[in-house]
Chain A
Amino acid sequence: MASVFHRAQLAVPVACILILGCVLPLAVLVVFSVFEVDLDAFTLVPAFSGQSWVQMFTNPVFAFLIGKAVVSGAGTAVLAGFIGYPIAVSMTRLPVLWKGVGSIVLLTPLYTGEIVRIYAWRVVLGSEGLVNAALKWFGVIDEPLKFLLFSPFTTHLVLLYNNLPFMVLAIWISAELIDKRLIEAARDLGARPIDAFFKVILPLTTPGLAVGVFTVFALAAGDMMTPSLLGGTSGATPMAMIDNLFGTAFDWPLASALSLSLLVILFAFATGFVTILLRFDGARAVFRRGTL
C-alpha cells in the first residue's frame, strides 16, 4: 500500500474543493443567465431565454461599464509598473539582512482591510484633510482642492496604493533571480549602467513584470469598494451594477450575463497583456534557462 500513495494525489481533494467552491458557482452563472424571473412571486423560473443576453448586448451601459473597468485596470497596471519598477530594483540593492525587513514593510499595508484603507484616504484627501491643510499652510492654495476626493483621481490613486505592493513583489522576485555575473560581465565589457539596465536587467525581469501586470490588472479592474466609496459620481463599476441587479432589482439572469461577460473580457485582456510582454527576447531567455 505504501508505494501506492503519493503526495501529488493531494491535488485531487484540493481541486475538488476549488471546483465545488469557485468554478461551479461561476459555471452555474451560464445556467442562471438563460433563466427568467417571476417578479410577482420573486422566484427564478427555469427557462431557456436569451432575454438577458439581448439586454446585455443592446444596452450600451453594460459595455460602457466593462470598458471603463478595463481602462481603469490597465491604467492602474501601467502606473504600477512604472512606479513599482524602480522600487523593486532598489530593493535588490538592500543588504541581505534588510531584505526580510523590506518584505515586511512592503506587505504590511496589504494586510489592512479595504475599508481601513479607503477610510484613511478620506482623511488624507478630504477638504480639511492632510494634503489640503499642508497646501494651505504653505500658501499654495486659498480654497481646498475639490478634485482630491470623490473623483477619478482619488479612485486611481487608491487603486494604485492597493495594488502597488503586488507589482513590486513580482518584479523584485524576478530581479533577485538574475545572475549578478551577467550584469558584471556587461559592465566589464564597457556597458554604462544605463545600458546594462536596458540590455540585461529590464529584459530578464519581463516575466516578473508580466505577472505584476496580470495581477494588478485583474485586482484593480475587479475592485468595487474603492470606486464606489471614493470615486463619487464617477464611481460606477460593473461589479456595483451586478450587486444592484442581484440585490435590489432581483434580476439574476442579467446579473449572471453581466458577470460572465465581465469575466471573459477581463481574462482576455489580462492574457493579451501577458502575451505581449512575454514576446520580448528576455522573457524567452528566462524560460529557456528554466530559472522561473
Chain B
Amino acid sequence: MSRLVILTLGLAVCFFYLPIVVLGIFSFNAASTMAFPLSGFTLSWYADLFGNEAFLGGFVTSFLIAQPVGLLGALIGLMAALAVTSPRMRLRAAFAILVLVPFLVPKTVLSIAQAMLMSWVGLGRGATALILAQTLVVIPFTTTILAAVMVRLDPRLEEAARDLGATPWQSFRRVLLPQLSVALSAAYSIGVILSLADLTISMFLAGRTQPLSLIVASEFRRELKPDLNAMQVAVLVLTALIVALTEINRRRRLRGQLAHVRDDL
C-alpha cells in the first residue's frame, strides 16, 4: 500500500466519523451547553437518560416496531432474491427496478402518497401502517444483500439435490437455506437498523405511536441538550453492537465451514 492510499483512506475515515466522535465527547462533558473548551468528565447525562420515561417509552416502541420490520424485510427480501437470481426468471430487469422503487422515490413523497391513499380508503395510521411502510423501504436493501450472496453460490449443489430426488422445498430447506443463514441474519439486522433510524416515514404514518426518532426530533427543534447526546450515543452503540454481532457471526460460520472442508480432506 502506498502512502497516498493510506492518506486517502485516513481522511475518509476522519470525515465519516468526525461528527460521531464529537457527539461521543460531548455526552461525557460536564456542561449543559455544548461548547468548547470542554469542562470536565461526567456520567450524569447518561443517568438523566435512564430516568427519562419519554425516551425509554419511545425506545421500547421503536424496538418493538423494528422486530417485525427486520423479520418481514428478510423474508420478502429472500423471496425477491430467489426470484431475481433464478435462471428461469423472465422480466428480470423490470422486477429489479420494481424492487428498487422504494429506495429511489423520495421517502417524503412515498410516505405522503401512502398516507393520502390510506386515509382516502379509511385505513387508520399507526403501528401497523408504520411497520408495513418501513418494511417496503427495507426490501431493496435486504434483496440486494441476499441476491449478492446467492449469485456466488454453486448452482450444481441444488441441481445435484434435485437429481437425487429432492423436492424443490427439500432442496431449498436442506441445501440452499443453510448457505444463506448468515446473509439472512445480515438482512434482518439491516431491517432493524433502518427501522430504528427512520424518521421520515414515522412523521407521516406513525399516527399516535411515538417511536424514539419522533420524540428526539421534537426535542431537537426546541433545544440541544447534552442528554440528547447521551441518547444518540446509546443508540449508536446499540447499532454498532448489532453490526458487530452480525459480523462475528459471519466470521464464526466461515471458520466453521473452513474447518469442515479441512476435516473432509
Q: How many A-B residue pairs have CB under 8 A?
A: 231
Picked from A19, A93, A256, the residue with its CB within 8 Å of the CB of B98 is A19
Q: Tell me if A268 counts as interface (CB < 8 A to partner B).
A: no
Known contacts A87-B12, A119-B220, A124-B22; is-contact A14 B79 (Cβ 8 Å)? yes
Question: Which residues of chain A have C-beta atoms less than 8 A from B101's C-beta?
Answer: 18, 22-23
Known contacts A105-B16, A120-B22; is-contact A21 B133 (Cβ 8 Å)? yes
Q: Tell me if A175 counts as interface (CB < 8 A to partner B).
A: no
Task: Of the listed stretches B32-40, B41-49, B50-58, B257-265, name the one at the interface; the rest are far from the partner chain.
Answer: B32-40
Output the least CB separation between A71 and chain B (Å).
16
Q: Tell me if B128 counts as interface (CB < 8 A to partner A).
A: no
Q: Are B113 and A5 in contact (CB under 8 A)?
A: no
Docked complex: B51-101 residues within 8 A CB-CB of A: 76, 79-80, 82-84, 86, 88-90, 95, 98-99, 101
Q: Tell me if B9 counts as interface (CB < 8 A to partner A).
A: yes
Q: Tell me if A194 counts as interface (CB < 8 A to partner B).
A: no
Type the 1/0 row for B128-172, where 1 means its CB is closer than 8 Å to any CB of A: 000011001001000000000000000000000000000110001
Q: Are B84 and A11 in contact (CB under 8 A)?
A: yes
Docked complex: A66-118 residues within 8 A CB-CB of B: 86-87, 90-91, 93-95, 100, 102, 104-106, 108-109, 111-118
Q: Tell me if A126 counts as interface (CB < 8 A to partner B).
A: yes
Q: Tell me if A9 counts as interface (CB < 8 A to partner B).
A: yes
Q: Are B116 and A246 in contact (CB under 8 A)?
A: yes
Q: Are A8 and B88 in contact (CB under 8 A)?
A: yes
Question: Which residues of chain B have C-beta atoms less than 8 A from A266's C-beta?
Answer: 106
Task: Of the listed stretches A26-34, A181-189, A199-207, A276-284, name the one at the interface; the rest are far from the partner chain.
Answer: A26-34
Output the least CB separation between A165 and chain B (Å).
8
Known contacts A123-B23, A133-B36; is-contact A242 B109 (Cβ 8 Å)? yes
Q: Tell me if B114 counts as interface (CB < 8 A to partner A).
A: yes
Question: Which residues of chain B have C-beta atoms less than 8 A from A11's C-beta?
Answer: 79-80, 83-84, 89, 95
Output the least CB separation between A100 and chain B (Å).
7
Docked complex: A241-261 residues within 8 A CB-CB of B: 242-243, 246, 252, 255-256, 259
Docked complex: B198-247 residues within 8 A CB-CB of A: 198-200, 213, 216-217, 220, 224, 228-229, 232, 235-236, 239-240, 243, 247
Complex Cα distance, B135 from A17, in Å, reads 10
Q: Are A128 and B34 in contact (CB under 8 A)?
A: yes
Q: Are A112 and B8 in contact (CB under 8 A)?
A: no
Complex Cα distance, B17 from A115, in Å, reads 16
Q: Are B23 and A111 in contact (CB under 8 A)?
A: no
Q: Are A123 and B19 in contact (CB under 8 A)?
A: yes
Closest to B23 in A: A120
Q: Are B197 and A112 in contact (CB under 8 A)?
A: yes
Q: Are B200 and A21 in contact (CB under 8 A)?
A: no
Question: Which residues of chain A have C-beta atoms less than 8 A from B139's C-beta?
Answer: 14, 17-18
Q: Tell me if A63 counts as interface (CB < 8 A to partner B).
A: no
Closest to A4 in B: B168
Question: Which residues of chain B have C-beta atoms less than 8 A from A240's C-beta?
Answer: 108
Output the least CB separation between B12 and chain A (Å).
5
Complex Cα distance, B200 from A237, in Å, reads 14
Closest to A166 in B: B103
Output the least CB separation between A157 and chain B (Å).
10
Complex Cα distance, B15 from A168, in Å, reads 13
Picked from B4, B20, B83, B239, the residue with its CB within 8 Å of the CB of A10 is B83
Question: Which residues of chain A have C-beta atoms less than 8 A from B98's C-beta?
Answer: 15, 18-19, 23
Q: Which residues of B contact A (CB under 8 A)?
A: 1-2, 4-5, 8-9, 12-13, 15-20, 22-23, 26, 33-37, 76, 79-80, 82-84, 86, 88-90, 95, 98-99, 101-102, 104-110, 112-117, 120, 132-133, 136, 139, 167-168, 172, 193-194, 196-200, 213, 216-217, 220, 224, 228-229, 232, 235-236, 239-240, 243, 247
Q: Which residues of A contact B (CB under 8 A)?
A: 2, 5-11, 13-15, 17-19, 21-26, 28-29, 32, 44, 86-87, 90-91, 93-95, 100, 102, 104-106, 108-109, 111-124, 126, 128-130, 133-134, 161, 164-165, 168, 214-215, 218, 221-225, 229, 239-240, 242-243, 246, 252, 255-256, 259, 262-263, 266, 270
Top 3 nearest A-B pairs by Cβ distance? A222-B106, A133-B36, A120-B19
